[in-house]
Amino acid sequence: MARDERGVTAQSEDFAAWYNEVVFKAGLVDRGPAKGTMIIRPYGYRLWEQLQGELDRRIKDTGHENAYFPLLIPQSYLSREAEHVEGFSPELAIVTHAGGKELDEPLVVRPTSETIIGEMMAKWIGSHRDLPLLLNQWSNVVRWEMRPRMFLRTTEFLWQEGHTAHLDRADALRETMLALDIYHEVAQDLAAMPVVPGEKTPGERFAGAVATYTIEGMMRDGRALQAGTSHYMGTNFATAFGIRYTGEQGREEFCHTTSWGMSTRMVGGIVMTHGDDKGLVFPPRLAPYQVVIVPIVRGEDTEVGAAAERLAGALREVGVRVHVDARPQLTPGFKYNEWEMRGVPIRLELGPRDLANGTAMMVKRLGGEGKQALPLDSLPLQIPAILEEFQSYLLARATVFRDEHTRTVDAWEEFTEAVSTGWAVALHCGTRECEEQIKSATAATPRCIPTDGEPATGTCVRCDAPSAYGKRVIFGRAY
């Protein structure tokens, strides 16, 4: 396999190997001692914190409140909603002994929190005046994973899960789409990931949901990543857990509920949307460090180091996340390669000659023209604008890649060709049997019925039965 000087497999040779190598070599993650678990290292956690902070602010701005619910859930809770427990049964971790004794009732380690939150909603809601109830939780969840991949599929991962209760279907659906809009904004505006929002087909719905909505991104190997989902539960969980309210006319009604989530899977999505054969490429709005300054110090000279710290302070004052790499034991060349691998958007090099000229050498991680000498005194004004240009460049680059690897098809032969390298947009009959046949033949699944898809009718690309959705469906191989 082709490798660069740091031993990273080329994406074109083996994308999976490239991904696995880069997340470890760039210091994002390490393996946990239990099967399928991960340790998020400080650099990776800084990225998650940036995403988490921005998402949390948007959730709170729309009137939701954060709460926390137990990690351990009585097994009987999951059994109340039959489809829900059936969907999660293969992934459950169950505690049967504690305190040296066998438990009277096994406890499930939280795979998701619809059941425990539903139990409490039934307790807290009594009147229409208590609605809507808008809750959000930041937590870890456990879903036993047989084929783990760091960030993308691990036995334990971090996420937020929103859970809300409403008077009626219309209000709950507005909430469902509001959450999807928030995810769309976060993915596109912060992660520079040009996702497609849409509804899942019945065969791809969340267990127990009436309707599931998703944002789907294309990774640089042409595969799809489900980056966030929002579910309208109807009254399924309200019926199972007795979540009722008394209306203005004195009649008792079941609430309509929603749930929605975005997880550390997004970290993997950012890696696979923007990375290249040199390593990570981070969008500036989420990058742990937007700028790294490398002082080039000779001998006992302290002037350059002091100047680098002054420059870092000036950049911090204008809101730039900056790091000075002053490690004396490493050469500048080693540092350049390391920060290139770690995806920092801008590197500033500052040596004695630069300092004498009143400049610093700037290198952009992508889309640059090589090294550029920029005046030191103007950098606090220039760098924020350069970072915004870099953010826009990444979004445009990813959008072009997605569009170039998406084909509208009508024939089965065209379909199989399209999903081998990207996405196929095709008419579909909507039956689970046909979906399974497509998956068996191509490994592709229906990613979503795009929200902004043009009206279209005709026959299914696979079985020639009438199309079911009034528009084309996006198919692709997925993570």
DSSP notation for 188-199? IIIS----EEEE
d(CA 266, CA 226) in angstroms, rounded, equals 9
Is the Cβ–Cβ distance between 227 and 282 less than 8 Å?
no
Angle subtended at Cα 188 by Cα 185 and Cα 194, rounded to the nearest 5 degrees? 135
* Closest residue by Cα to residue 229 from 193, 190, 194, 266: 266
Radius of gyration of the chain (CA): 25
CB-CB neighbours of 335 under 10 Å: 19
DSSP reduced 3-state for 67: coil
Tokens of 406: 């998406």
* Closest residue by Cα to residue 473 from 234, 199, 221: 199
CA dist 461 → 421, 432, 444, 451 (Å): 18, 14, 13, 20
Which pLDDT score, from 0 to 100, does residue 146 have?
83
d(CA 472, CA 460) in angstroms, rounded, equals 10
d(CA 187, CA 402) in angstroms, rounded, equals 14
Ramachandran class of 379: left when φ > 0, alpha when ψ lies in -120 to 50, beta otherwise = alpha
The amino acid sitting at 240 is A
DSSP reduced 3-state for 169: helix
The amino acid sitting at 112 is T
d(CA 283, CA 381) in angstroms, rounded, equals 19
Tokens of 181: 């809009």
Tokens of 178: 């509001």
DSSP reduced 3-state for 60: helix
- Long-range contacts at 377-383 (CB < 8 A, ≥ 24 apart): 379/311, 379/314, 379/315, 379/348, 380/314, 380/315, 380/317, 380/318, 380/320, 381/318, 383/290, 383/291, 383/315, 383/318, 383/320, 383/346
Is the Cβ–Cβ distance between 276 and 21 less than 8 Å?
no
Q: Helices in 186-243 by DSSP H: which ranges?
A: 236-241
Tokens of 12: 């074109």
Which pLDDT score, from 0 to 100, does residue 161 have?
98
Contacts of 124 by beta carbon, 8 Å cutoff, 6+ apart: 130, 133
d(CA 304, CA 302) in angstroms, rounded, equals 6
Q: What are phi and psi of 304, to 5 degrees?
A: -65, -45
Is the Cβ–Cβ distance between 417 and 186 less than 8 Å?
no
Which pLDDT score, from 0 to 100, does residue 8 have?
87
Is the Cβ–Cβ distance between 128 and 167 less than 8 Å?
yes
CA dist 37 → 33, 70, 89, 146, 372 (Å): 7, 20, 19, 11, 43
Query: Distance between alpha carbon 402 and the CA centroid of its chain, in Å?
Result: 17
H and E: helices and strands count for the chain: 14, 23
- Long-range contacts at 358-365 (CB < 8 A, ≥ 24 apart): 360/293, 360/311, 362/386, 363/336, 364/390, 365/281, 365/282, 365/340, 365/390
DSSP reduced 3-state for 402: helix
Which pLDDT score, from 0 to 100, does residue 85 have?
65
Which pLDDT score, from 0 to 100, does residue 1 have?
39
From first to last of its 479 residues, the chain has per-residue pLDDT tens of 344 455 689 999 999 999 999 999 999 999 999 999 999 999 999 999 999 999 999 999 999 999 999 999 999 998 887 676 676 778 899 999 999 999 999 999 999 999 999 999 999 999 999 999 999 999 999 999 888 999 999 999 999 999 999 999 999 999 999 999 999 999 999 999 999 999 999 999 998 899 999 999 999 999 999 999 999 999 999 999 999 999 999 999 999 999 999 999 999 999 999 999 999 999 999 999 999 999 998 877 789 999 999 999 999 999 999 999 999 999 999 999 999 999 999 999 999 999 999 999 999 999 877 899 999 999 999 999 999 999 999 999 999 999 999 999 999 999 999 999 999 999 999 999 999 999 999 999 999 999 999 999 999 999 999 999 999 999 999 99
Report the first-to-last Cα separation within the chain, whole angstroms. Answer: 23
Q: Count the alpha carbons within 13 Å of 315 in the hemisphere toward its beta carbon.
A: 27
Which pLDDT score, from 0 to 100, does residue 367 have?
86
CB-CB neighbours of 151 under 10 Å: 27
Beta strands in 152-199 (DSSP E): 156-166, 196-199
- Say whether the peptide bond before residue 132 is cis (omega within 30 degrees of 0): yes
